[in-house]
Amino acid sequence: MTGVLARVTDRLRTAFGEPDARAAVTFVGVDRIEVLRFPDQAAGLVRYATLGMSAAPMADPTAPVADPERGPRAELLLTLRAGRAATDAVLRPLAVVAASPQVEGVVVAPGGSLDLGEPLWPGAPFTAVLVGRPDGSVPELALPAPRDPVRFLPLLPMTPHEAAWQRAHGADALTERWAGHGADPRDPLRAQVPLGP
């Protein structure tokens, strides 16, 4: 585990306590990605956090050479209502999203979306995620210069139609649509919101 990932682990433990489960996923040619599970029984939530994405900065796909030190770093957080669905199967899809900067050369940032093309867990209506802005649940982690800090970005599950609507209208429009219809993005059983023009 690199020094960065050790510090990220400490930051996650400070925010959420000890994880009760962790899974490692490896892809050919990609550094190992772990997903940690943090239960919050008092709030009725379960949080999943990636570990490994921040080991290297995300490179601008248009840059001729990737800078090994400078560039945005992030880990991903998915928070869901506990006990309502078999959401632990989301571990591999989360690792796929976390590996996308290395595999596809994408920069994962707030307002972006990633479509996995398959349910996030068995029976889920969600096949994509919207990358949200940091919500303060895990404060960003400063790293020694010239490295950028590690940001902890929430993921919000989307149905295929919501993902298509978001691409056409933008992330803010979709989150406003969710709020306007009282949708809880943390509810693994939530229905798709009505999507008009």
Structure confidence by residue, pLDDT tens digits, 1-29: 469 999 999 999 999 999 999 988 888 77
Residue 152 covered by a domain: yes
Tens digits of residue pLDDT in 54-77: 999 998 766 667 777 889 999 999
Residue 192 covered by a domain: no
pLDDT at 93: 92
pLDDT at 197: 63
* Residue range(s) defining the domain that contains residue 76: 3-59+68-180
CB count, 10 Å around CB of 97?
25
Residue 76 covered by a domain: yes
The alpha carbon of 1 is separated from its chain's Cα centroid by a whole number of angstroms, namely 20
pLDDT at 195: 86
Number of domains composing the chain: 1
Pick from 58, 75, 76: nearest CA to 67: 58
Would you say residue 90 has pLDDT above 50?
yes
pLDDT at 106: 87
Q: Is the CB of residue 147 less than 8 Å from the CB of residue 55?
A: no
Tens digits of residue pLDDT in 129-170: 999 999 999 999 999 999 999 999 999 999 999 999 999 999
pLDDT at 1: 46
Would you say residue 50 has pLDDT above 70?
yes
Pick from 30, 64, 36: nearest CA to 48: 36
- Alpha carbon distance 163, 116 (integer Å): 11
Please indicate whether residue 105 or residue 76 has the higher confidence score (pLDDT): 76
Residue 188 covered by a domain: no
- Average pLDDT of the residues of the chain: 92
pLDDT at 132: 96
Residue 19 covered by a domain: yes
| Residue 171: C-alpha distances to residues 178, 186, 196 (Å) | 11, 16, 15
Residue 187 covered by a domain: no
CB count, 10 Å around CB of 197?
5
Residue 197 covered by a domain: no
Residue 123 covered by a domain: yes
